[in-house]
A and B are shown apart, each in its own frame.
Chain A
Amino acid sequence: MAKVDQIRAKATEYFQKGDYAKAVAEYKKVLELEPGNASTYNFIGDAYIKLNNPNEAIANFMEAVKGYSNDALFNNGIAVCKKILRINKDNPEVYKTLGEMYIQQGLINEAITNLLEYAERKIKQGKSDEAFPIYHQIVELNPQNLAVRSKLAEMYMAQKKVPEAINEFTQLANAYRDQGRQIEAEALEARIRGMRGEPAPAQPAPVSEVKADAIIEELTQQRPEIQVPPEAPALVIEKEAAPPQEEEPAKQDWATNIELGDLLVEIGSTQEALDQYHTAANGYMGDGNVDKAVEVYKKIASIQPLELRSRQKLVEIALQSNQSEALIEAYLGLAECLHRRELREQAAAVYQKVLEIDPVNESALESLSLLLPEMPEGAFEMPGLEVHQEAPAAPASAEPDFSFSQPEPPPYQPEPASQPTPEPEILPPSWQPAPTQEAPAWEPIPEPEPQPEPAQPESFMHSPEPEAAPSQFHGQAPEAPGEGDVHWGREIVEGGRQSRVKFSVADEEPAAAPGAQEEFLSLQDILAEFKEGVYQSIKQEDFQGHYDLGIAYKEMGLVEEAIAEFQIASKGDKERLKAFEMLGLCFLERGEPKFAIKQLERGIATPGYNNEDYIGLKYNLALAYEQSGDIAGAIATLEDIYGIDVNFKDVAQRLHSLRASQAASAPAPQPAPQPRPAVPPAQPPQTIQPAYVPAPPASPVVQPEPAYQAPVEAPRPSPVPPTSIPRPPAQPVPQPRPVVAPPAQPVARPAPAVPPRPVPRPAAVAPVVPMVQPTAPVPEAQPEPEAAPKPKPIPSKLKKPEKQRISYV
């Protein structure tokens, strides 16, 4: 052992024995041999704390920080800084050091927090000169930190440094403008003019399209009373809001705005890009080029799927065009958008509009089935939708009637944030999942080759929670005979999030103190934020991403959210089949077998797969038939599965159980029953459907189905030849049909008349799957104790989170 190690060991020994003075002496000897050793300084500091000598402890810790910083061990340095702050919080230099190390770590928010602390302490000490460069540094780290920029400008003013103050105020005003905060920007510009000694402009500058757009945005967010004439959507208001112009402005080339928008998208300035697109779309509308405007609005919707403005514009245009297909598409887009923003009542209202045009529209029916059962009774009525009725003299109108209590919250504004891209590397050598005795079938994937990471991380910055609106908006029913829908689409959007339900949490968390509600968010709120962020991040065409997210939601019991994701995933070629299987499961879990049947039949109708690929869909189809009371359908489907794989899950047992149940409920065997059309093997699978397609619901309001109903019809014969159907030994239940029983054998091991399974099944896996309760004729129960037909997030109040950033790689 080297001498230094011996001394260090001795020091450690003294330390462990509690002889801290001797430990310090030994550690100092180590320092003589290894000058600047950060770790040793750290140990000395610890020993001084034990010796109740905080000053010496801090001095040594500071040395340790210096050493760690020199060695680029910033994590260690940060940890030691925190130790120092626990001893003494008043040393501003520690905050500065912490801030600098956080910058090195790329943790900008932590860096800013500590640098601000340093600057403010310096100002308190009257050393504002030392604070200036720090404020500059913070502004450089985060140019959007307007509070710091404003403070910096005021500090310059206080020190009579007018040119510097003007510079900061100018940048602040520009930032306000970029954020659409026109009033603040103008106030600041007036102040700058005053500082420069310039007169106020005699006439306001001509309102550009962008400005008009911003004004409209403000109006639609703040005005409670303004009624948009039904025949004149947004553009008319823009013209009214702008100063009267004597001449028609020259036609602009809106394509330039689109190109600029494209560039802004490329550099990640999405919000600015959307402004450009809206300008272009409005411009095209003004020019009468509706097709081009639609194209641009669709582009906006694809970039920012939760942006309501483009959706409502598309609805307005479609209404004016009188093309039902376009209108349905626009309505569905708007409704989905509203649904995902948790504006459930408004979404339901829009889906109802779709059904007025196309009463059997499956998307609308399915989505309504998700929305309507959770609506408060009376909150949704058609025609005419009245959330509350404070306007008794509302004119009679066939159009929905909203009244709102809040304006729309500020639109979601993602901002780019940087996130380090992980360096591509080879898996560590230890990552070799070798076969073990415990898991003999484990087949590790081949070790991946080093390759560049293709995915570019995207980061999003949520805007802060919308501030509570001070004004109450009790809008009148739209006076909109005829073309009132144009107005109505906007009204839906303006309802904002006022319908968002806050959970009561009395059973889980202590009640919040009065006035403290704003500090808490319910799980529902967090989920809504999460969904919104994720939805913005995952492109519509990323079907695998949506499928994965659906699995995540389903595993948490968030079935409704899962359905929404699987519905998107089902549009992907590769994901179609598995998404339909999951959709079937989800609807079964919700106790909605009719929708489950529809989804599963769609899956089975997907061509291009082997019989075995449909087996899960068919099994769930059998469960859905059973849940809907169609026992004969369930039996026929199970027999079909039995013909493909006799050992598939509990198919034999379930078949037996259902037959027994059917026999018990049948009055008497029919002498000459009409044979039920056979369910053929899955190719072509569509032939399963005709015999079992349930009647479409008479109303879009779906009533939960009873779990199990004995069939009222006479039992139908099995489509599978009787000889191929195994019977369990000593079957006591009388069989209604002439069946030749095979030799006695266990249910799970039927006669080899059925072809052997072409694909190995994870037989050992099957028992852990929660899909089946083997003997019960009722649909399977979920194993989770909290599971219910319509699981909801656990209500709770949670601390309001900080501003969010979503990164989606």
Chain B
Amino acid sequence: MSLINYSSREINCKVVYYGCGLCGKTTNIKYIYSKVAPDAKGKLISLATELDRTLFFDFMPLDLGSIKGFKTRFHLYTVPGQVFYNASRKLILKGVDGVVFVADSQVERLEANQESIVNLKDNLAENGFNIETIPFVIQYNKRDLPNIASVDEMRGQLNKWGVPDFEAVAHQGYGVFETLKEVAKKVLKNLG
């Protein structure tokens, strides 16, 4: 739910990158951070465990222009992917405006992807959102790896709602901004 500050004329929109452990959510955010001009972004806050797993959440504010005189500030979040951090994930989904589901294309992660998207649906529902109506985009990440499932297969398993989906190699930047642009467009459409 967008948070408006009238004195600064800012609309704060919340986009959450969701997905199973090590699927590349933080990589997406870090890539975005590395490419955006300093005056259009806030601080990137990233708390990771020793094994580079997101502990609570990553957070990065991003200015994406203005709408009707109000500056749109997108707050990008990631959730911790591991199964046992569900309480954190629920909390982070509160007040969400848009979701990017990052899927790991490796064959051995297909099951984890499915588990995670079911978990997303449940947690959204617990926060009062419907996965069918919320701005939602899927990204098939790690397309550069050798042991990956085909996009058709992944689409069949994960994208039952026919939402926009993108192939990506997040650490190289492929598909990262396309994904962000699409989810941002959907969020703004919801606002407007």
**Separation of A725 and B90 alpha carbons in the complex (Å):** 45
Q: Residues 38-78 of chain B: 1 if any A CB is under 8 Å from the residue's CB, otherwise 0?
A: 11101111111111110111010101111111100001010
Give every chain A residue within 8 A of B65 (Cβ-Cβ).
433, 442-445
Q: Does chain A have a CB within 8 A of B25?
A: no
Q: Does chain B have a CB within 8 A of A802?
A: yes
Q: A75-B171, A795-B87, A808-B44 are in contact. Are A609 and B11 (CB under 8 A)?
A: no
Q: Residues 16-56 of chain B: 1 if any A CB is under 8 Å from the residue's CB, otherwise 0?
A: 00000000000000110111111110111111111111011
Give every chain B residue within 8 A of A454 (Cβ-Cβ).
38
Give every chain B residue within 8 A of A445 (Cβ-Cβ).
40, 63-65
* Minimum CB–CB distance for B8 against chain A, Å: 4
Q: A76-B145, A440-B192, A555-B12 are in contact. Are A764 and B51 (CB under 8 A)?
A: no
Give every chain A residue within 8 A of B8 (Cβ-Cβ).
577-578, 581
* Minimum CB–CB distance for A416 against chain B, Å: 15
Question: Of A290-298, A525-533, A652-660, which stretch is located at the interface?
Answer: A525-533
Q: Residues 111-150 of chain B: 1 if any A CB is under 8 Å from the residue's CB, otherwise 0?
A: 0000000000000001110000000000000101111000
Q: A430-B178, A439-B192, A619-B6 are in contact. Are A809 and B33 (CB under 8 A)?
A: yes
Q: Is the CB of A614 within 8 A of B7?
A: yes
Q: Does chain B have a CB within 8 A of A805?
A: yes
Q: A75-B145, A433-B184, A581-B7 are in contact. Are A422 and B34 (CB under 8 A)?
A: yes
Give every chain A residue within 8 A of B70 (Cβ-Cβ).
762, 765
Q: A428-B35, A438-B185, A530-B55 are in contact. Are A783 and B128 (CB under 8 A)?
A: yes
* B48, B84, B86, B94: most-surrounded residue (chain A CB, <10 A): B94
Give every chain B residue within 8 A of A426 (Cβ-Cβ).
35
* Minimum CB–CB distance for B5 against chain A, Å: 5
Q: Is the CB of B185 within 8 A of A433?
A: yes
**Separation of A515 and B150 alpha carbons in the complex (Å):** 45
Q: Is the CB of B38 within 8 A of A760?
A: no
Q: A529-B55, A578-B8 are in contact. Are A793 and B87 (CB under 8 A)?
A: yes
Give every chain A residue within 8 A of B14 (Cβ-Cβ).
555
Q: Does chain B have a CB within 8 A of A798?
A: yes
Q: Is the CB of B67 within 8 A of A442?
A: yes
Q: Does chain B have a CB within 8 A of A804?
A: yes
Q: Is the CB of B67 within 8 A of A441?
A: yes
Which partner residue on chain A sits nearest B180 by CB separation? A431
Q: Residues 549-591 of chain A: 1 if any B CB is under 8 Å from the residue's CB, otherwise 0?
A: 1011011111000000000000000000110111000000000
* Minimum CB–CB distance for B112 against chain A, Å: 14
* Minimum CB–CB distance for A599 against chain B, Å: 12
Q: Does chain A have a CB within 8 A of B163?
A: no
Q: Does chain A have a CB within 8 A of B159?
A: no
Q: Is the CB of A802 within 8 A of B50?
A: yes
* Minimum CB–CB distance for A191 against chain B, Å: 30
**Separation of A544 and B45 alpha carbons in the complex (Å):** 13
* Minimum CB–CB distance for A510 against chain B, Å: 11
Q: Is the CB of B11 within 8 A of A762?
A: yes
Q: A526-B55, A764-B192 are in contact. Are A784 and B87 (CB under 8 A)?
A: no
Q: Does chain A have a CB within 8 A of B88?
A: yes
> In which size bucket is the chain A interface?
35 or more
Give every chain B residue within 8 A of A723 (Cβ-Cβ).
none
Q: Is the CB of A530 within 8 A of B47?
A: yes
Q: Residues 234-273 of chain A: 1 if any B CB is under 8 Å from the residue's CB, otherwise 0?
A: 0000000000000000000000000000000000000000
Give every chain A residue within 8 A of B95 (Cβ-Cβ).
555-557, 784
Q: Is the CB of A79 within 8 A of B145?
A: yes
Q: Is the CB of A616 within 8 A of B5?
A: yes
Give every chain B residue within 8 A of A42 (Cβ-Cβ).
146-147
Among B7, B44, B63, B92, which residue has its beta carbon within 8 angstroms of that of A617? B7
Interface residues of B in 171-190 (CB under 8 A from A): 171, 173, 177-178, 181, 184-185, 188-190
Q: Does chain B have a CB within 8 A of A538?
A: yes
Q: A439-B185, A555-B12, A765-B191 are in contact. Are A537 and B45 (CB under 8 A)?
A: yes
Give every chain A residue within 8 A of B147 (Cβ-Cβ).
42, 46, 79-80, 83
Q: Does chain A have a CB within 8 A of B3?
A: yes
Q: Is the CB of B42 within 8 A of A556?
A: no
Q: Is the CB of A808 within 8 A of B3?
A: no
Q: Does chain B have a CB within 8 A of A664?
A: no
* B14, B57, B91, B171: most-surrounded residue (chain A CB, <10 A): B91
* Minimum CB–CB distance for B44 against chain A, Å: 4
* Minimum CB–CB distance for A590 against chain B, Å: 16
Q: Is the CB of A80 within 8 A of B146?
A: yes
Q: Is the CB of A428 within 8 A of B67?
A: no
Interface residues of A in 769-809 (CB under 8 A from B): 769-771, 783-786, 793-796, 798-799, 801-809
Give every chain A residue within 8 A of B31 (Cβ-Cβ).
422
Q: Is the CB of B190 within 8 A of A768?
A: yes
Among A73, A425, A554, A802, which residue has its beta carbon within 8 angstroms of that of B51? A802
Q: Is the CB of A799 within 8 A of B42?
A: no
**Separation of A534 and B142 alpha carbons in the complex (Å):** 30
Which partner residue on chain B sits nearest A61 by CB separation? B146
Q: Is the CB of B191 within 8 A of A764?
A: yes
Q: Does chain A have a CB within 8 A of B1?
A: yes
Q: Is the CB of B50 within 8 A of A762?
A: no
**Separation of A43 and B45 alpha carbons in the complex (Å):** 40
Interface residues of A in 433-480 (CB under 8 A from B): 433, 436, 438-445, 448-449, 451, 453-455
Among B35, B48, B90, which residue has its beta carbon within 8 angstroms of that of A806? B48
**Separation of A613 and B10 alpha carbons in the complex (Å):** 12
Q: Does chain B have a CB within 8 A of A110?
A: yes
Among B34, B51, B77, B185, which residue has its beta carbon within 8 angstroms of that of A110? B51
**Separation of A424 and B55 alpha carbons in the complex (Å):** 27
Q: Is the CB of A760 within 8 A of B68?
A: yes
9 A-B pairs with least C-beta separation: A616-B6, A448-B37, A422-B34, A796-B87, A578-B8, A802-B50, A438-B189, A803-B50, A762-B68
Q: Assuming A545-B43, A785-B128, A796-B86, what are 18 further A-B pairs, CB within 8 angstroms?
A: A75-B171, A79-B106, A83-B147, A431-B181, A441-B67, A443-B66, A551-B61, A556-B91, A581-B5, A581-B6, A760-B68, A765-B70, A766-B4, A770-B1, A799-B85, A801-B49, A804-B55, A808-B45
21 contacts between A and B (CB under 8 A): A42-B147, A79-B146, A422-B35, A425-B35, A427-B177, A431-B181, A433-B181, A441-B67, A523-B91, A551-B61, A555-B94, A581-B7, A619-B6, A765-B11, A769-B3, A784-B128, A785-B128, A799-B82, A802-B51, A808-B43, A809-B43
B residues sitting closer than 8 Å to A (CB atoms) are 1-12, 14, 30-31, 33-40, 42-53, 55-57, 59, 61, 63-70, 75, 77, 82, 84-88, 90-92, 94-95, 106, 108, 126-128, 142, 144-147, 171, 173, 177-178, 181, 184-185, 188-192
